[in-house]
Amino acid sequence: MPQLNFVKQGQGPLVVLSHALGCDLSMWDEVALALQDRYTVLRYDHRGHGQSAAGASPFTLDDLADDAAELIRAHSSGPVHFAGLSMGGMTAQALGARHPALVRSLVIANSASQYDSAARAMWQARIDTVRRDGVAPIVEGALQRWFTPEFRADASHGAPRVAALRAVLAAVAPEPYAAACEAVAGIALDAGNTRIGCPTLVIAGGRDEATPPALSERIAQAIPGAQLQSLDAAHLSAVEQPQAFARLLADFWSPLAEH
């Protein structure tokens, strides 16, 4: 199991944040700042992303869930609030099904539980491109899916965040990125979702073309008692709407506080 890079900050109950494919823990910078007065925020780089070791290839979402489980065991003696976006949200689903004792609650944002054949073919085309030509050819397309046009054009805030995450994506090595794409393309999380027993919040991006709201609705319908919320954002809703995203998390976690 690869060694995972992490950052831990704040005070209060432990929450773990799991980032999207092609990003790193810096994706959560503003959300972590918004939460740190009330929560201990632990965010980490997935294997092969940021400063985390790549580990063995190929791997599956179950492996990413097991990575997260080891991290939780190392930092907590009890269950934690776990929030993931996109690939991180897939990790959250697998974690809730495989390691229920480790999670007090789940937040699954801008994610999917299964892809149809057309979507898997699109993933395969991306994998083939990256293995042939590297990550550079897919960067601009990814940024267009990640953010709305007005966020990308916002010189005061959006554009600098887009530039920072462009650099993060461009720095991911081709093979770890391709392996992560294969893990994502092969997800089959629906059956496990029906076994998730902890409180769960599903967050959709109203303008998310990468994982459209219907995919979030499918997740929410499968997980018993899950809540569904939406933000006016594209795929990386936690970057585009960090304050609103953090409020959704805090409002969801507040009634779950231990007495």
- Encode pLDDT of 184-202 as tens digits: 999 999 999 999 999 999 9
Domain membership of residue 24 (yes or no) is yes
pLDDT band with cut points at 50, 70 and 90 for residue 259: very low
Average pLDDT value over all residues in the chain? 97
Domain membership of residue 167 (yes or no) is no
What are the phi and psi torsion angles at 90 (to 5°)?
A: -65, -40
Closest to 20 measured CA to CA, from 211, 186, 156, 201: 211
Domain membership of residue 31 (yes or no) is yes
Domain membership of residue 1 (yes or no) is no
Number of domains present in the structure of the chain: 1
Q: What percent of the chain has pLDDT over 70?
A: 99
Domain membership of residue 81 (yes or no) is yes
CATH of the domain at 92: 3.40.50.1820
Domain ranges, residue 100 = 6-115+187-256
Domain membership of residue 74 (yes or no) is yes
Domain membership of residue 200 (yes or no) is yes
State residue 97's pLDDT score.
Answer: 98
pLDDT band with cut points at 50, 70 and 90 for residue 257: confident
Domain membership of residue 227 (yes or no) is yes
CA distance 87 to 5: 17
